Structure 1
């Protein structure tokens, strides 16, 4: 699957996907440092490929970071309680079949459309775009 095809299919689902320039583990370490520096709480890292390996299955490197800041997320959940299903924010760092690493996340616009919270609150979660872009470098 080509990079353009991956990005087009992902965008149609309310996701953004940015090609990375480091391995999955290096990208995750970079994200951990960035979140720590910004004083954003990292709730969990789920190592999907590691869990698959423990179950006797093979999966390309795939890790999910779950993070957030109550000051950003709480106003969204107060405005639209269903937003809680999508918060804390998540970044998926994964490797495709060609060995290319991607950083994928729900776009803030998609979350706003899905839950109908006021557009003025988009700024509360827009930080995910900058975090993903910086981690991809």
Structure 2
């Protein structure tokens, strides 16, 4: 179970890292032109960049606390925060009729819920 949780956290961290880098460093206009990026047309550049920074922090929070053994309790906390972020993403994409993206967000939400439950009750890092 420990290995499955590490794999899930690593996969979700990579997803968060890619999304965070994209939202933080790619101009909003270029994001809006991409498939699935239409939601950025309704948001300010600061909001999009803030979401990107949150995703970068999530990528770090899913791996570093446990890997460095500094406040490993932050891993399930980060996973719960990711669940909340995905709920917002699902609502946003649902309103725009982007149901394939809603399904993808639901998959990410499930992965984060698995990590949150697994690292808080089933296989926590601390005794």
**Which category describes the TM-score, using the shorter chain as reference length?**
0.3 to 0.5
Higher helix share: 2
TM-score (norm 1): 0.35
Higher strand share: 1
